Amino acid sequence: MTPTSAPNGFITDWSADGSGVNKEIGVVLVHGYTGSPSSMRPWAEYLNQQGYTVRVPLLPGHGTKPEDLSQIKWQQWPEKIESELDELRKNCTKIFICGFSMGGGTTLHVATKRSDKITGIILVNPMIHLPFIGTKLAYLLSRTKKYRSSVGDDIKRPGVTQGGYEVMSTEGIYQILQMLKYTRANLHRVSVPMQLFHSVDDHTLPVSNTEIVMKRVGSLSKERIELTNSFHVATLDYDAEIIFENSLIFIERHSS
């Protein structure tokens, strides 16, 4: 699993203008740690076919080589998403953010600060903590072993890849946990409608991540949908259509 293993053109920033009555509704789709836009591209294309304007950014440190993740500060990830929001706001009246795994944590972080600029958020197996690993321990680990094997393609469907790194930077993990520590403390500030998809068979993140998000997010409207035939990278797995179709219903409901 490397960035070159994904389809040509799926590892870079990607965007597509919408059409018809949905053209002024924008959607940003955010991939996970060590992954790439490839994990979100089919979902984005599905929404674009329904007329929505979509943007799938490549997060800083991704799509190149694992060493680049060791040079990133966590603030660069939400800043990238906020820049996408600003671009969409030039032509869109309503904006949704869809985040997978660490991209879900990044989405929540942005929503703690900019709920007034977002119409809704959709999360797939979001990351909000790593049990038993705090920022201090993560810092120490990052100083003793720079890289660990990536969990990578935790996908039930055979022969599918998200085109990410085969190893992950422990410095990057330290950066993620700093971002998530702040985000957890401010989840009550997330006030927009939220839809969350959770894989029952997730080998990457424990269910406590979903439980924390569902309990602490301040949104009055929040729903959880269980996925029973997918592993962690559910956006590319057997339950992808469940995600696509239900997210469409969610966006339609909160756009009218």
| pLDDT reported for residue 1 | 42
Q: How far apart are CA 16 and CA 56, in angstroms?
A: 9
17 is catalytic: no
Q: Between 74 and 138, where is the model more confident?
A: 74
Q: Check pLDDT > 50 for residue 4.
A: no
Strand order in the sheet with 14-16: 14-16, 53-56, 25-30, 94-100, 120-124, 194-199, 222-227
Q: Check pLDDT > 90 for residue 135.
A: no
Reported as a single tens digit per residue, the pLDDT across 177-202 is 999 999 999 999 999 999 999 999 99
Q: In CATH, which of 3.30.565.10, 3.10.129.10, 3.30.300.10, 3.40.50.1820 is domain 3-255?
A: 3.40.50.1820
Reported as a single tens digit per residue, the pLDDT across 84-128 is 999 999 999 999 999 999 999 999 999 999 999 999 999 999 999
Reported as a single tens digit per residue, the pLDDT across 40-82 is 999 999 999 999 999 999 999 999 998 999 899 999 999 999 9
**23, containing H or E segment:** none
101 is catalytic: yes
Domain residue spans of the chain: 3-255
Q: Check pLDDT > 60 for residue 225.
A: yes
- DSSP 3-state helix, strand, coil percentages of the chain (rounded to 5)? 45, 15, 40
- Residue 213 one-letter amino acid: V
219 is catalytic: no
| pLDDT reported for residue 149 | 73
| pLDDT reported for residue 140 | 67
Average pLDDT over residues 11-35: 95
Check 232, 237, 239, 247 and give the catalytic one.
232
Check 153, 202, 237, 239 and give the catalytic one.
202
Check 36, 101, 150, 230 and give the catalytic one.
101
pTM of the predicted model as reported, rounded to 2 decimal places: 0.93
Q: pLDDT tier at 134 (50, 70, 90 boundaries)?
A: confident
The sign of the CA dihedral 90, 35, 112, 197 is positive
- What are residue 230's phi and psi, to 5 degrees? -145, 155
| pLDDT reported for residue 2 | 47
